[in-house]
């Protein structure tokens, strides 16, 4: 923590006045840096409007009162990366299946550091961590290394051939004998060369014939092993073990597809079959042999966290059976990236129907919006209260609510979900979610509860009421975070000014106010003041036309509570500011990506 009140108070050292520093101990894998200002730099804005954090080699940065101006134009600072692979020495590492040193390379143990690294053999150069990464150096092109005759390049070496009538190794350095006049019989040399040539030819033929018999067998065996490897990496063993402990589990409800089946279903993942893309990967439209249309989610290559979310989603969805939760039909475990197969939802996402920029008017009436809200709430209440272990979705948003041909809501994307033991009301976990929907108390405390889903559901309600996106940096600063802006507008009596004009009528204005009241209660900063999904929506009828006064009162609460809120209407007390969330989450995501040395 640093303090700085004026430019004159800064000393020529990084000791806490305007600057602080710390050394990085050996073996550290992750380092998190959080930057904030108590007064948002207002007292020192003229000379220090920004905060900086960076890693730099010791002795390569000297702090002074000129550093603020210099750092504004500095994009790079030197640092030294000392690294090794694993914590085993070369003898043990060479026995492992994931041994990193490839062909024409050797293992080297670093000084004062556990693990190992790789380097190319003498006579080779390149990248020793890639297959065929170390390639031969052609010494004959570098310089004339032979005293006479011709230089012949060999794998990792070279040789010199003396001219006809001379003998020797032709070398002119080291222990080379050079070339001298050969007074022996040229005939005997020719015979020896002929015998050697015949021997090499016969050996090559035997090798080729024997290799042709074993090539296809080895290729087939390697393919089977590769599929088994992917099966284990994608959590196949874990998924096989879980159904044994519960009836009606994954084996009975989820089909295991082969890679060939899904290749054909998607036209080998043709671009024309893409339904959507995101940070998780790509969703394709697939057609199975029985003409059933499905959605196939393919994770990104090389993202290990996506494989973990894949396993998590299969485990969660294998325990869920609800009409408003998207149905998992199967999965594929034998490919490089995991694949999930879902029922195909024809009308796409709720986000598209609310915020489609190509259409000025939404296709969703107020009755449909209220129906979608009720069905979504019913699904969340089921996840929180009716499964064998409570499930917290952790990423409730309009892009994760799908609509079928009858505009029935389907909650989807359970990759970030968490199962909560029955004897616990909350769990501690790394913050994960989507900006604009993130529970502020969860963001600050890492304590995840079902009330975090309630907060996100409140944001969805506000989107249904206003047709505004949850977070937009194109809006004025006070309107960027929709939840913040909505609660302020309600408290200041400006609700009708931010409602979607397409749904406001004299007949439903009272219902709109009560839904706004429900949204405000869901968006309370303190989680204990938010209602639970089960308690609030247990009596919600399936059709909005079936509302009775008692049902409406139970669902939405009395009208007098519509603007009751204890905390003040400010960006710091109602929810997290959009900019601070963005910066904080960005730093955390960057720090979590590096897990090497």
Residues in the chain, overall count:
597
pLDDT tens readout for residues 349-377: 999 999 986 666 667 999 999 999 999 99
Q: To the nearest whole percent, how much of the chain has pLDDT over 70?
A: 79
264 is in an annotated binding site: no
Which entry of 46, 98, 263, 395 is annotated as an active-site residue? 395
Q: Read off the pLDDT of residues 542-578 as tens digits, 9 standing for 90 and up.
A: 334 344 444 344 344 444 333 334 344 644 334 444 3
Strand duo 255-256 + 328-332: pairing: parallel
Instruction: Please say if the pLDDT value at position 344 is more than 70.
Output: yes
* pLDDT single digits (tens) 446-485: 999 999 999 999 999 999 999 999 999 999 999 999 999 9
Quick count: other Cβ atoms within 10 Å of Cβ 422? 9
Token readout for 122 is 């003498």
In the numeric block, the tokens 């730093």 are attached to 587
Angle at 365 between CA 363 and CA 368, to 5 degrees: 105
With cut-offs at 50, 70 and 90, classify the pLDDT of residue 274: very high
Please indicate whether residue 395 is annotated as part of the active site: yes
Contacts of 523 (CB under 8 A, 6+ apart): 455, 458, 459, 462, 483, 486, 487, 530, 574, 575
Domains of the chain as residue ranges with CATH: 1-81 (no CATH), 90-137 (2.10.25), 240-343 (3.30.200.20), 350-593 (1.10.510.10)
Examine the pLDDT at 537 and tell me if it is beyond 70: no
Q: What pLDDT, on a 0 to 100 scale, did the predictor assign at position 475? A: 92
**Tens digits of per-residue pLDDT, 386-445?**
888 889 999 999 999 999 999 999 999 887 788 777 666 667 777 888 999 999 999 999
Q: 110 versus 475: which is more confidently predicted?
A: 475
Model confidence at 279, in pLDDT bands (50, 70, 90)?
low
What mean pLDDT, rounded, does the chain reach?
79
E strand residue ranges, 269-420: 274-278, 281-287, 293-299, 328-332, 339-343, 391-392, 401-403, 409-411, 418-419
Mean pLDDT along residues 322-326: 94
pLDDT of residue 425: 62
- Give yes or no for residue 296 having a pLDDT over 60: yes
Q: Which one has a higher pLDDT value, 241 or 593?
A: 241
Q: Residue 186 pLDDT > 80, yes or no?
A: no
Average pLDDT value for residue range 313-337:
86
- Mean per-residue pLDDT, 586-596: 36
> Taking the mean position of all CA atoms in its chain, how far away is CA 574?
29
């Amino acid at each position: 923590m640093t303090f700085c009140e004026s430019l004159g108070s800064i000393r020529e050292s990084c000791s806490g006045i305007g600057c602080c520093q710390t050394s990085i101990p050996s073996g550290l894998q992750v380092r998190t840096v959080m930057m904030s200002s108590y007064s948002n730099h207002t007292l020192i804005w003229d000379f220090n409007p920004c905060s900086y954090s960076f890693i730099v080699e010791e002795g390569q940065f000297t702090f002074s009162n000129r550093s603020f101006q210099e750092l504004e134009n500095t994009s790079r600072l030197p640092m030294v990366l000392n690294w090794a692979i694993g914590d085993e020495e070369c003898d043990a590492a060479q026995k492992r299946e994931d041994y990193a040193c490839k062909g024409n390379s050797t293992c080297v143990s670093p000084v004062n550091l556990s693990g190992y690294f790789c380097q190319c053999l003498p006579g080779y150069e390149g990248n020793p961590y890639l297959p065929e990464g170390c390639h031969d150096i052609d010494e004959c092109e570098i310089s004339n290394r032979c005293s006479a005759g011709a230089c012949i390049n060999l794998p990792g070496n070279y040789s010199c051939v003396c001219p006809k009538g001379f003998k020797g190794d032709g070398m002119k350095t080291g222990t080379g004998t050079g070339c001298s006049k050969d007074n022996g019989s040229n005939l005997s040399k020719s015979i020896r060369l002929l015998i050697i040539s015949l021997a090499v030819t016969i050996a090559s033929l035997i090798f080729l014939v024997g290799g042709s018999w074993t090539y296809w067998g080895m290729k087939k065996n390697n393919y089977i092993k590769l599929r088994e490897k992917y099966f284990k990496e994608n959590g196949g063993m874990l998924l096989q073990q879980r159904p044994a402990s519960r009836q009606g589990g994954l084996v009975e409800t989820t089909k295991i597809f082969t890679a060939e089946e899904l290749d054909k279903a998607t036209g080998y993942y043709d671009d024309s079959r893409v339904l959507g893309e995101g940070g998780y990967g790509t969703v394709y439209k697939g057609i199975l042999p029985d003409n059933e249309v499905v959605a196939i989610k393919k994770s990104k290559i090389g993202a290990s966290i996506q494989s973990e979310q894949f396993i998590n989603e299969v485990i969660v969805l294998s325990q869920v059976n609800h009409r408003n939760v998207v149905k998992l039909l199967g999965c594929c475990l034998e490919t490089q990236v995991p694949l999930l197969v879902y029922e195909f939802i024809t009308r796409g996402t709720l986000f598209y129907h609310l915020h489609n920029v190509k259409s000025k008017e939404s296709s969703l009436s107020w009755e449909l919006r209220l129906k979608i809200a009720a069905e979504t709430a019913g699904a969340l209440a089921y996840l929180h209260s009716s499964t064998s272990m409570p499930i917290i979705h952790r990423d409730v948003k309009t892009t994760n609510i799908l609509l079928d041909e009858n505009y029935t809501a389907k909650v989807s994307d359970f990759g970030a979900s968490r199962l909560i033991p029955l004897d616990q009301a909350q769990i501690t976990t790394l913050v994960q979610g989507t900006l604009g929907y993130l529970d502020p108390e969860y963001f600050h405390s890492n304590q995840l509860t079902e009330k975090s889903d309630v907060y996100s559901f409140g944001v969805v309600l506000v989107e249904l009421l206003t047709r505004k996106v949850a977070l937009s940096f194109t809006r004025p600063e006070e309107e960027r975070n929709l939840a913040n802006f909505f609660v302020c507008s309600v408290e200041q009596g400006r609700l009708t000014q931010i409602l979607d004009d397409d749904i406001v009528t004299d007949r439903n204005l009272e219902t709109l106010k009560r839904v706004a009241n429900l949204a405000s209660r869901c968006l309370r900063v303190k989680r204990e003041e938010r209602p639970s999904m089960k308690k609030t929506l247990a009596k919600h009828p399936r059709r909005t036309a079936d509302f009775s006064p008692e049902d409406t009162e139970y669902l939405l609460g009395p009208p007098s509570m519509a603007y009751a809120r204890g905390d003040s209407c400010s960006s710091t007390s109602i929810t997290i500011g959009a900019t601070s969330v963005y910066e904080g989450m960005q730093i955390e995501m960057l720090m979590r990506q590096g897990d090497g040395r």
